[in-house]
């Protein structure tokens, strides 16, 4: 729990792509395990070398070094491990390099101003989370600026995109203020930050895997009746949509009859094929189930 790191900063600032400030808090407090390396993380680790190779190929006049240093502001308890640094002609000072490996569909969805644009040529905007991470690294390195180097990986083509991340005094002050408040209000006293319902589904399940049989009074939260009513309305819409979708599919199956395929007027193909599934045994598991009932049934 020594530092909030640059990769934590987006979540602490409310802009996390893969979690919230509450998840950072739970990790620092040791309440949940550190995420094991998954396929995406492994791809990023392996791909970092490819990013630097691509930079060297396309910018042979750059002097590039991969970083092997941990930067730390001891007073702010804020740290970072930049991927690298560069000296770039016509630019003053050291430029921090942050590498990302991004699948082309994700790049088109999250980065391009027009998702129909080609990943190589479309105008792109860096997600705020990556801006905050990269800016934190540049700030701690006292660098002149930073470059976010993104290797866009498609099936048969890899494309290097470089994005300048300039130092920004206002943003840096915001980062320091947010991190300072995170330590003061949550980490040091051990007080849990408010859960972000849009980001913390898996975190809540990890923090509270079991119930203890007790009953607590939630009458003091005036929002709960409204939330439950909204939940009922959403579930009713979902059921209506599912019923309608099932009816449409039944109609399609009836039209196909014994045929495997059917071609419609706009060229699309409908298929209804027999599939075989091998038998398998499901291991026993335990999990909590959320149900809503009226007070009389409790």
What's the pLDDT tens digit per position in 44-67? 888 899 999 999 999 999 999 998
What's the pLDDT tens digit per position in 81-102? 999 999 999 899 999 999 999 9
The percent of residues in the chain predicted with pLDDT above 70, rounded, is 93
- The encoded tokens of residue 240 equal 């209506």
Give the per-residue pLDDT at 62: 95
Whether residue 119 has pLDDT greater than 80: no
Question: How far apart, in whole angstroms, are the C-alpha atoms of residue 123 and residue 174?
Answer: 27
Give the per-residue pLDDT at 1: 61
Give the per-residue pLDDT at 293: 62
Q: How many CB atoms lie within 10 A of CB 131?
A: 20
Report residue 38's pLDDT band, with 50, 70 and 90 as the boundaries. Answer: confident
Whether residue 16 has pLDDT greater than 90: no
Residues 211-239 have a mean pLDDT of 94
Whether residue 17 has pLDDT greater than 90: no
Report residue 115's pLDDT band, with 50, 70 and 90 as the boundaries. Answer: low
Give the per-residue pLDDT at 55: 96
Residues 132-139 have a mean pLDDT of 97
Give the per-residue pLDDT at 292: 54
Residues 215-239 have a mean pLDDT of 94
CATH number listed for the domain at residues 4-207 = 3.90.320.10
Report residue 279's pLDDT band, with 50, 70 and 90 as the boundaries. Answer: confident
Residues 177-184 have a mean pLDDT of 97
Whether residue 274 has pLDDT greater than 90: no
- The encoded tokens of residue 283 equal 């291991």
Q: How many CB atoms lie within 10 A of CB 35?
A: 11
Question: How far apart, in whole angstroms, are the C-alpha atoms of residue 27 and residue 17?
Answer: 16
Give the per-residue pLDDT at 105: 92
Report residue 68's pLDDT band, with 50, 70 and 90 as the boundaries. Answer: confident
């Amino acid at each position: 729990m020594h530092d909030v790191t640059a990769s934590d900063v987006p979540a602490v600032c409310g802009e996390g792509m893969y979690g919230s400030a509450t998840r950072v808090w739970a990790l620092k407090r040791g309440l949940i395990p550190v995420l094991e390396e998954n396929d995406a993380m492994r791809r990023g680790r392996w791909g970092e070398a490819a990013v630097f190779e691509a930079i060297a190929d396309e910018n042979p006049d750059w002097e590039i070094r991969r970083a092997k240093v941990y930067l730390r502001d001891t007073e702010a308890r804020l740290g970072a491990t930049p991927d690298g640094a560069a000296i770039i002609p016509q630019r003053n000072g050291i430029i921090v390099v942050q590498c990302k490996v991004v699948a082309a569909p994700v790049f088109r969805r999250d980065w391009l101003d027009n998702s129909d644009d080609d990943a190589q040529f479309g105008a792109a905007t860096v997600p705020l989370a990556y801006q905050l991470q990269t800016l934190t690294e540049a700030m701690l390195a006292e660098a002149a600026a930073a470059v976010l180097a993104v290797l866009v990986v498609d099936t048969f083509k890899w494309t290097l995109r470089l994005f300048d991340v300039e130092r920004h005094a206002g943003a840096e002050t915001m980062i320091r203020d947010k991190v300072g408040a995170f330590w003061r209000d949550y980490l040091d006293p051990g007080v849990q930050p408010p859960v972000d319902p849009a980001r913390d589904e898996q975190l809540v399940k990890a923090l509270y895997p079991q119930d203890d049989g007790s009953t607590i009074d939630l009458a003091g939260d005036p929002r709960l009746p409204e939330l439950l009513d909204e939940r009922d309305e959403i579930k009713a819409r979902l059921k209506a949509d599912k019923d309608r979708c099932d009816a449409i599919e039944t109609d399609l199956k009836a039209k196909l009859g014994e045929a495997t395929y059917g071609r419609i007027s706009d060229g699309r193909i409908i298929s209804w094929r027999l599939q075989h599934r091998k038998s398998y045994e499901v291991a026993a598991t335990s999990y909590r189930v959320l149900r809503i009932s009226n007070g009389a049934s409790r």
